Amino acid sequence: MVFRHISEDIKTRALWLLDQGYISAETAYLLGVSERSVFRWRRNFDTHGSVIPPPSYLQGRPSDITTEIREDLVQLTRESPEMFLDEIQEWVAVAHEVAISRPQLHQILEDCAVSYKRLRRAAIERDEALYDRTIYRHYGRSVSGERATILANFVCGDWYSLVAALGVEGYAAARVVSGSVDGDEFFDFIVSDVMPTMNPFPGDRSVIIMDNCAIHKSEALREVVEGMGIQISFKFPFISKLILC
């Protein structure tokens, strides 16, 4: 028989018919229910005093994941948000001696409002002896409404800068510098590498044209260059209406 909801008055009427001398089969036939249902209603009335038993608050076996374990899981995601489920699963087994499956662990984390999100990196001090590249996980877990932050080593490696002087006939000078080019490095490049290839104005290679970078606007550099009869000119800031096609 297909399950259907039976009202309490029908169940009470079934017990009344039994008390009137009807057998269970006749009662089931008259009310259109199964005989097993009639037996169950009688048992409920004899046990609980009502055809409807009280609700059961303990369904299934008690969970092995206590409130303490749930609180520790939330704290663990705050301290190590990058951990994978299998790593958290192993941590629970070691720290609390509880075996739990990954699907169950995932459901428990969701019940604790712990969501899966992209990690936010926070830089820490770089240790040259230990790290030669940047390695980190991209996703992790944290409580909803909180960022998942991981401490990461930002390693850029060795990098260089190229400064060069370009003329109408090609490159006149070039220099590769470790790191960035500062004002002193640029001053030395112009005086040592560029000026020996130039001539006093108005001869060939007699004008240096530079952009408006701050390290180019050195009064000491201007005095040295113009003292050799060479002119310095700066480009105008980029304005699209001044570009001639």
The DSSP result for 42-56, as a single string, is: HHHHHHHSSSSPPPP
Q: Considering 131, 152, 173, which residue would you say is the last residue of a domain?
A: 152
> Is residue 223 in a domain?
yes
Total of domains in the chain: 3
Residues 136 and 73 in one domain: yes
> Is residue 59 in a domain?
no
> pLDDT at position 241, please?
39
> pLDDT at position 240, please?
40
Token digits of residue 174: 């070039």
The amino acid at 181: V
Those residues with Cβ within 8 angstroms of residue 47's Cβ, 6 or more apart along the chain or in another chain: 53
> Is residue 22 in a domain?
yes
> Is residue 62 in a domain?
no
Find, among 21, 59, 24, the residue nearest to 40 by Cα.
24
> Is residue 60 in a domain?
no
**DSSP line for 206-237:** -EEEE---GGG--HHHHHHHHHTT-EEEEPPP
The helix/strand/coil state of 190 is helix
Q: Considering 136, 152, 168, which residue would you say is the last residue of a domain?
A: 152
> Is residue 167 in a domain?
yes
What's the domain range around 187?
160-237
> pLDDT at position 166, please?
86
> pLDDT at position 124, please?
61
Residues 100 and 129 in one domain: yes
Q: Output the pTM of the full model.
A: 0.41
Q: Considering 126, 152, 178, which residue would you say is the last residue of a domain?
A: 152
Residues in the chain: 245
Residues 74 and 121 in one domain: yes
| Signed CA dihedral, 160, 165, 168, 170: sign only | negative
> Is residue 192 in a domain?
yes
Helical pair 8-19 and 35-48, crossing angle rounded to 10 deg: 90
- Residue ranges for the chain with pLDDT beneath 50: 1, 129-131, 239-245
Token digits of residue 15: 């017990």
Residues 148 and 74 in one domain: yes
> Strand (E) positions, 31-154?
114-118, 120-123, 139-143, 149-152
Residues 164 and 148 in one domain: no
Phi and psi at residue 232, in whole multiples of 5°?
Answer: -115, 135
Residues 85 and 120 in one domain: yes
> Is residue 245 in a domain?
no
> pLDDT at position 239, please?
44
